[in-house]
């Protein structure tokens, strides 16, 4: 079965500092990968998705970027964090079939 690992689980970063959240997938090849942000009362907001190495689609213009350097690796980054970047970030993936999406454990980001 597909397993998604995500880290770090928690981080506190000052405004203006860089960010790197990493996600890796086990148990499948060529997955579609997704980054979501969960803010209180707003559900899951899709930030980026990727259908393959180097292929990134952005859903929401913002201070963040994503990269996929390997088939089963997905990275969320920022050069300079804003207070509004605080939230719970979830990496997710499907097997390419589109019939189920699996999630990592999530990362809590607090920008201070």
Partner 1 sequence: AQTVTQSQPEMSVQEAETVTLSCTYDTSESDYYLFWYKQPPSRQMILVIRQEAYKQQNATENRFSVNFQKAAKSFSLKISDSQLGDAAMYFCAYRSGRFPGTYKYIFGTGTRLKVLA
Q: Which residues in this chain contact partner 1 in the complex, by CB under 8 A?
A: 32, 34, 36, 41-44, 46, 49, 51, 59, 88, 90, 92, 94, 96-103, 105-106
| C-alpha pair distances (Å), 57 with each of 48, 53, 85, 93, 98 | 6, 12, 19, 14, 17
- C-beta of 17 vs 101, nearer to partner 1: 101
DSSP state of 7: E
- C-beta of 17 vs 86, nearer to partner 1: 86
- C-beta of 17 vs 56, nearer to partner 1: 56
């Amino acid at each position: 079965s597909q397993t998604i690992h995500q880290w770090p689980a928690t981080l506190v970063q000052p405004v203006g500092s860089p960010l790197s959240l990493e996600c890796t997938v086990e148990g499948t090849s060529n997955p579609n990968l997704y980054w979501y942000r969960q803010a209180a009362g707003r559900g899951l907001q899709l930030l980026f998705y990727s259908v393959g190495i180097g292929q990134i689609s952005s859903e929401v213009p913002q201070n963040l970027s994503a990269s996929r350097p390997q088939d089963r690796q997905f990275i969320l980054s920022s050069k300079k964090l804003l207070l509004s970047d605080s939230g719970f970030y979830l990496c997710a993936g499907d097997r390419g079939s589109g019939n189920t999406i699996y999630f990592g454990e999530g990362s809590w980001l607090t920008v201070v």
